[in-house]
């Protein structure tokens, strides 16, 4: 089956990264129809208000604001450091944790609340079976406005 792996295209690095056939990748959240809370990943019960069976899948925005970040200087072997680990509040709802790329890992250049956009990219490494993975990160937004 590993021969089919490359032909099938990259696999999503997390279940909530969706790769529609012939469409652009996006992040999927689940929104509670009762209270409006957003979550990543599928669930039956709302963690905010306890409503059952009211979660609906929604496509999350590609734009957001930097909520918090940390510059990571130590990581697993083979992971290039330093990198910026970020928590981003997406426009319209949903919060993601990912890496902030396209900017120096320097606190003087990174500001809380800065506009960022989600970008999707193929991971640099394959797994043991030769599968490629689609990952996501955020970068400073280039909104041209
Ligand atoms: Zn709720």
Give me ligand 1 centre to Cα 96, in Å.
18
Give me ligand 1 centre to Cα 68, in Å.
24
Q: In the 3-class helix/strand/coil scheme, how is the chain assigned residue by residue?
A: CHHHHHHHCCEECCCCEECCCCCCCEEEEEEECCCCCEEECCCCECCCCCCECCEEEEECCCEEEEEEEEEECCCCCCCCCCEEEEEEEECCCCEEEEEECCCCCCCCCCCCCCEEEEEEEECCCCCCCCCCEEEEEEEECCCCC
What's the predicted TM-score (pTM) here? Answer: 0.87
Q: One digit per residue, pLDDT tens: the chain, 145 residues?
A: 445 555 578 999 999 999 998 899 999 999 999 999 999 988 899 999 999 999 999 999 999 999 999 999 999 888 889 999 999 999 999 999 999 999 999 999 999 999 999 999 999 889 999 999 999 999 999 755 5
Give me ligand 1 centre to Cα 42, in Å.
13
Give me ligand 1 centre to Cα 86, in Å.
25
Give me ligand 1 centre to Cα 105, in Å.
36
Give me ligand 1 centre to Cα 39, in Å.
10
């Amino acid at each position: 089956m590993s021969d089919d792996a490359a032909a099938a295209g990259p696999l999503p690095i997390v279940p909530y990264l969706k790769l529609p056939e012939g469409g652009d990748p996006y992040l999927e959240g689940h929104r509670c129809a009762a209270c409006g809370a957003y979550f990543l990943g599928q669930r039956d019960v709302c963690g905010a208000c306890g409503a059952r069976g009211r979660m609906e899948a929604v496509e999350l925005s590609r734009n957001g604001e930097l909520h918090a970040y940390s510059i990571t200087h130590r990581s697993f072997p083979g992971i290039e450091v330093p990198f910026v680990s970020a928590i981003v509040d997406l426009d319209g709802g949903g919060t993601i944790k990912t890496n902030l790329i396209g900017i120096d890992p320097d606190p003087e250049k990174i500001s809380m609340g800065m506009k960022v956009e989600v970008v999707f990219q193929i991971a640099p490494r394959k797994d043991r079976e030769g599968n490629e993975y689609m990952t996501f990160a955020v970068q400073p937004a280039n909104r041209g406005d």
